[in-house]
Amino acid sequence: MYPQAMCDLIDIVDGTREKRKGEAIERLSAEELKALLARYHPDYREAAFRNLRVGVNRGDRTTHEIADLLEAFSDLDHSKIDLRPEYDTDVLVLGGGGAGVTAALFAEGMGARVVLATKLRLGNSNTIMALGGMQVSVHESDSPVRHFADTMAAGKFAGNRKLVKTMVEDGPRIVQWLLDLGVDFDRDGEGNLAVKGGGGLSAPRIICIGDYTGLNIMKVLKDQIRQVEGIDVFEFSPAVELTTNEFGECNGAVLYDLGRKRHFVVRARAVVLATGGSGRLHMQGFPTSNNFGATGDALVLAYRAGVRLEGVDSFQYHPTGVMFPEHMVGVLVTEALRSLGAHLVNAKGERFINELETRDACAAAIIRECERGNGVGTLSGAKGVWLDTPLLEETQGKGFLKGRFPSLYRHFMRVRINISKQPLLVYPTLHYQNGGILIDEKGETTVRNLFTAGEAAGGIHGRNRAMGNSLLDIFVFGRRAGLAAAKRKYNEAGNVTLNHVHRYYDRLKALRISSTAKSPTLFPEFIVNKL
Amino acid sequence: MKGDDAIITVELEGRKIKVPAGLTVIEALWDTGHDVKRGIGCLSGLCGACTVAFIEKESKKVRFGLGCQKVIEEGMNVIMIPCFPCRAARYSLEAMENPLEKLKELYDELYTCNDCRACNICPEWINVAGVMRAAMAGDYESAAAHVTDCIMCGLCASRCPKNIAPHYVALYIQRALARERPSPPNLGNRLEEIESFRYDGEWSRVAAMDDEALKEFCASMVGR
């Protein structure tokens, strides 16, 4: 329920709705876009970044939050860990989201023995929160090449062409795989996969399952992993360090059993790192849409093992994160609302950006409005702008929001906000790590036998990810990583050592870096900071 | 409301304790120093990890919800419910001709349902008993249509006196139905095009482009 002070502000939005309906806002020119981003997008705020002093990417720019973790020692007393493996397997998958489960299923399908370890419960991931849908070129006006072009353009041409081509070409095949597993994507009248348009897309390309796309895919994948024989799942067992053999090749991981508070080692012929992104590091103090476990562990573990990172100075701030009520701060409001024509409106009741601009442009424009004093304040002093949802109810018909966005509608009805009558207060929320661990088309990193898939991987999305491409990327590269990792099952795993960590520590010490930060983070430390 | 400094008294995990008003159950647990990890996932009301049971002040009724969504109130008595055990059937959908016909074999306890409606406590407001009725009557489309929003928290199963796990039954129906649907023609066409190398000419042109040419090419796509 909005407090009275905010209801008065909502009256302004209601008052200008009729006028705004007829308004058309020009798309930004290339120069305008550049200027907007440079001035207001968090990725361009130089004070928030520094150059790494150690490791493969020495000299590269990243956020303080990530640099702090990469230039840190572990909490773990390595001398006290028993490195004799408690489990020996072919493929060790770290991470229980869409990418990890896909990798595990494909590796198992190739006859590999698989251990899947995850920090929280299997499936507790950002995958389930992918609401809007998944990009795949199936519409007749569309093509894989067009999908490639849109993805490259959205990423400001910083994405790796080969990886993008791989993703868009594998797209239709991976959808077929999901359909075969019993994922029920929405269909149109002729039984085709129904496709929607979206910001930055030149053809309708978003396939979905209501507004619960990721969740419904993950439900099926979780069910499938229960049905196959060759996968052991360890829940509540985050990885705290990778292990390497005498040649510096990855051969397992040290896991931490949260329940029994002890470490144990899993040795493997190949490791798939799929532990997701880093939203819970709350870069630059932004709220985040990410799940509880998204603390950037993959970057830390893999960097110590010697991988090259790519583009870890670029993050996606989703323009429409909830700002009110406060216990929902950071939670995502799907982009589909803007695609369908919901306006972004400032405190004066004015639009200030074409809502179909890419995510980075919309986010920067919202930050601009708030910095110019056109933001809407909450009681606790937070600022945001309105997302005019009642407008959709007028243009698309009564009951539209409840029917088309049932989960969103219900989540707000629980707090007595009726989105068909009242707008939502939104502000950019830290949503996605655009960069990550550099991979090749097989999903392999620059460290042999270490594969990466999903948000932890980098090189695909360039400097801005288009809507619906991450849900595609996790399955495409999860599959590829799983298949390639399974082929390593005849490898000699070699001795389990932490030599790479000791080498890394030596370099830190030589540079007189003595950080008090401890990494990996595993869990966000101080959560109730909203008080 | 958060923002004003009201302090309320609640019974949290069996202990009477003061917390600031406006927190969710999980925030209150953190605020009071509980090291909760098992019952936490997405913090957005989607993963179903943080199920809680609570009694509101002066109420006789035990209610259920999600810890990341339920805002605590004065006098509330609340506990987290660890993941409730339920039986999920083992099957291989690929090996089955008509998976829906196997429902009875895999989940025979479903047919002992006497519509007591104890399961209608869904935090996603799903009419679970209605879905089970539809499933028993063989109206699978209707059953599946109502569980798209199911987050698999398992609260419904924890209430069932007949040991039915409605979320697993419904998931099976969803998967089985999806498998029975004819393959989408647009996807089939696209796969055929890719397999017959339809785009290879275009790809090799793209591969030969330098960055500037690629930018122009991408810009022309948007215009087309």
Instruction: Write the secondary structure of A286-348 as one string of H (helix), E (strand) and C (coil).
Output: CCECCCCCCCCHHHHHHHHHCCCEECCCCEEEEEEEECCCHHHCCCECCCHHHHCCCEEECCC
Q: Which residues pair with A89 in a beta bridge?
A: A268
The residues, ordered by sequence, that sit 6+ positions from A79 with a Cβ below 8 Å of its Cβ are none
* Cα–Cα distance, A299 to A273 (Å, whole number): 10
Please check whether residue A151 is in contact with residue A213, taking contact to mean a CB–CB distance below 8 angstroms: no
Q: Using a CB-CB distance cutoff of 8 angstroms, which residues of chain A are in contact with residue B150?
A: 219
Average pLDDT along chain B:
93
Please check whether residue A183 is in contact with residue A230, taking contact to mean a CB–CB distance below 8 angstroms: no
Q: Look at residue B223 in the predicted model and tell me its pLDDT.
A: 55
The residue among B152, B204, B198 whose CA lies nearest residue B174 is: B152
* Cα–Cα distance, B187 to A172 (Å, whole number): 7
The residues, ordered by sequence, that sit 6+ positions from A404 with a Cβ below 8 Å of its Cβ are A211, A396
Q: Which residues pair with A310 in a beta bridge?
A: A436
Q: What are phi and psi of A430, to 5 degrees?
A: -65, 120
Alpha helices in A182-312 (DSSP H): 213-227, 297-305
Instruction: Provide the residue type at A175 as one letter.
Output: V
The tokens describing B190, both together, are 């696209």
> Is the bond leading into A520 cis (omega within 30 degrees of zero)?
yes
> Is the bond leading into B82 cis (omega within 30 degrees of zero)?
no
Looking at CA atoms only, how far is residue B112 from chain A in angstroms? 24
Please check whether residue A353 is in contact with residue A25, taking contact to mean a CB–CB distance below 8 angstroms: yes
The greatest distance separating any two alpha carbons of chain B, rounded to the nearest whole angstrom, comes to 74
The residue among B121, B106, B96 whose CA lies nearest residue B164 is: B106
CB atoms within 10 A of CB B66: 28
Q: How far apart are the first and last CA of chain B?
A: 51
* Cα–Cα distance, A385 to A383 (Å, whole number): 7
Instruction: Determine what percent of chain A falls in helix, strand and coil, rounding each to the nearest 5.
Output: 35, 20, 45
Please check whether residue A273 is in contact with residue A494, taking contact to mean a CB–CB distance below 8 angstroms: no
* Cα–Cα distance, A232 to A481 (Å, whole number): 18
The residue among A525, A431, A273 whose CA lies nearest residue B37 is: A525
B50 by DSSP, 3-state: which? coil
Please check whether residue A278 is in contact with residue A294, taking contact to mean a CB–CB distance below 8 angstroms: yes
Instruction: Provide the residue type at A392 as one letter.
Output: L
* Cβ-defined contact of A182 to B20 (cutoff 8 Å): no
The residues, ordered by sequence, that sit 6+ positions from A368 with a Cβ below 8 Å of its Cβ are A36, A39, A40, A352
Q: Which residues pair with A88 in a beta bridge?
A: A267
Report the alpha-carbon angle A102-A104-A105, nearest 5. 65
SS (H, E, C) A28-80: CCHHHHHHHHHHHCHHHCHHHEEECCCCCCCCCEEEHHHHHHHCCECCCCHHH
* Cβ-defined contact of A149 to B31 (cutoff 8 Å): no
- Probe site for chain A from B5, B92, B187 (most A CB atoms < 10 A): B187
Q: Look at residue A526 in the predicted model and tell me its pLDDT.
A: 54
Q: Which residues pair with A359 in a beta bridge?
A: none
Looking at CA atoms only, how far is residue A210 from chain B in angstroms? 8
Task: Give me the tens of pLDDT residue by residue for chain A, a chain 531 residues long.
Answer: 899 999 999 999 999 999 999 899 999 998 999 999 999 999 999 999 999 999 999 999 999 999 999 999 998 888 888 999 999 999 999 999 999 999 999 999 999 999 999 999 999 999 999 888 999 999 999 999 999 999 999 999 999 999 999 999 999 999 999 999 999 999 999 999 999 988 778 999 999 998 899 999 999 999 999 999 999 999 999 999 999 999 999 999 999 999 899 999 999 999 999 999 999 999 999 999 999 999 999 999 999 999 999 999 999 999 999 999 988 999 999 888 998 899 999 999 999 999 988 889 999 999 999 999 999 998 888 899 999 999 999 999 999 999 888 888 988 998 999 999 999 999 999 999 999 999 999 999 999 999 999 999 999 999 999 989 999 999 999 999 999 999 999 999 999 999 999 999 999 999 998 877 788 988 886 554 433
Q: Look at residue B3 in the predicted model and tell me its pLDDT.
A: 47
* Cβ-defined contact of A138 to B181 (cutoff 8 Å): no
Q: Look at residue B13 in the predicted model and tell me its pLDDT.
A: 92
Looking at CA atoms only, how far is residue A189 from chain B in angstroms? 11
Q: Using a CB-CB distance cutoff of 8 angstroms, which residues of chain A are in contact with residue B71?
A: 327, 415
The residue among A523, A443, A449 whose CA lies nearest residue A106 is: A443
Instruction: Provide the residue type at A385 as one letter.
Output: V
The residues, ordered by sequence, that sit 6+ positions from A433 with a Cβ below 8 Å of its Cβ are A277, A278, A279, A296, A312, A315, A316, A455, A456, A458
The pTM assigned to this predicted structure is: 0.94
Q: Using a CB-CB distance cutoff of 8 angstroms, which residues of chain A are in contact with residue B34?
A: none
The tokens describing A227, both together, are 């049905």
Residue A318 known to be catalytic: yes
Tracing tokens 């020009």 back to the chain, one arrives at: A26
Helices and strands (H, E) in chain A, number of each type: 15, 19
* Cβ-defined contact of A182 to B91 (cutoff 8 Å): no
Q: Using a CB-CB distance cutoff of 8 angstroms, which residues of chain B are in contact with residue A193?
A: 184, 186-187
% of chain B with per-residue pLDDT over 70: 96
CA distance to A94, A248, A395, A497, A510, per residue, from A78 (Å): 20, 17, 62, 10, 19
Q: Look at residue A530 in the predicted model and tell me its pLDDT.
A: 37
CA distance to A77, A448, A504, per residue, from A84 (Å): 16, 21, 22
Stated as kind and residue range, the H or E segment containing A246 is none
Catalytic residue among A205, A269, A282, A318: A318
* Cα–Cα distance, B34 to B17 (Å, whole number): 12
Q: Look at residue B4 in the predicted model and tell me its pLDDT.
A: 54
CA distance to A9, A398, A417, per residue, from A420 (Å): 17, 8, 9
The tokens describing A432, both together, are 């996605």
* Cα–Cα distance, A427 to A429 (Å, whole number): 6
Q: Which residues pair with B62 in a beta bridge?
A: B55
Q: What is the number of alpha carbons within 13 Å of residue A445 lying toward its C-beta?
A: 34
The tokens describing B73, both together, are 């109130």
Cα dihedral value B17, B22, B24, B29, nearest 10: -30
* Cα–Cα distance, A286 to A381 (Å, whole number): 14
Please check whether residue A199 is in contact with residue A335, taking contact to mean a CB–CB distance below 8 angstroms: yes
- What does DSSP say about strands A343-345 and A309-310: parallel, antiparallel, or unpaired? unpaired
Instruction: Provide the residue type at B27 as one letter.
Output: E
Residue A368 known to be catalytic: no
Q: Using a CB-CB distance cutoff of 8 angstroms, which residues of chain A are in contact with residue B42?
A: 124-126, 128-129, 291-292
CA distance to A419, B89, B107, B160, per residue, from B86 (Å): 36, 10, 12, 10
Q: What is the number of alpha carbons within 13 Å of residue A138 lying toward its C-beta?
A: 29
pLDDT, one tens digit per residue, over B182-204 is 999 999 999 999 999 999 999 99
Q: What are phi and psi of B24, to 5 degrees?
A: -80, 170
Q: Look at residue A115 in the predicted model and tell me its pLDDT.
A: 98
Catalytic residue among A139, A280, A338, A465: A338
Closest-approach residue (CA) in chain A for B82: A121
Q: Predicted ipTM?
A: 0.94
Please check whether residue A317 is in contact with residue A431, taking contact to mean a CB–CB distance below 8 angstroms: yes
* Cα–Cα distance, A170 to B37 (Å, whole number): 36
* Cα–Cα distance, B166 to B121 (Å, whole number): 12
Instruction: Provide the residue type at A323 as one letter.
Output: M
